[in-house]
Amino acid sequence: MICGGSVPGPEIALDNCVCLQPEATNANWTIKRMPSKSVNSSICALPDGTYMIINGGQQSRAGFGLATQPNLNAILYNTLNVVLIPSLL
């Protein structure tokens, strides 16, 4: 699972998480949306299989000390939520 990040150019943070279960038959990447944009966030796996995503910035580009507009929203992210749109990256 990879969440957040930025795009080259206008320094806009992303609001997506891309997930892959490599052990699955015919594994595909899927894209899920987070409730807020984030770059340089911290992700912590929790015992119940969910993830806590905290910190980071809502604007700028990847690289420590480069993010602006702090992301003050903590996200409890559940990878088991169903996504019906497979994505190939």
Kindly report the pTM of this predicted structure: 0.69
Q: Six-digit token pair at 81? A: 């939520």
On the CB side of 65, CA atoms within 13 Å amount to 0
Q: What is the pLDDT of residue 65?
A: 67
Q: What is the pLDDT of residue 86?
A: 52
Q: How far apart are CA 59 and CA 51, in angstroms?
A: 22
Q: Six-digit token pair at 1? A: 């699972």
pLDDT band at 89 (very low <50, low <70, confident <90, very high): very low
Q: What is the pLDDT of residue 84?
A: 52
Q: What is the pLDDT of residue 9?
A: 73
For residues 66, 18, 79, 67, the Cα torsion angle rounded to the nearest 10 degrees is 10
pLDDT tens-digit map of 25-78: 888 888 888 888 888 888 898 998 888 888 888 877 666 666 678 888 888 888
- Single-letter residue type at 43: I
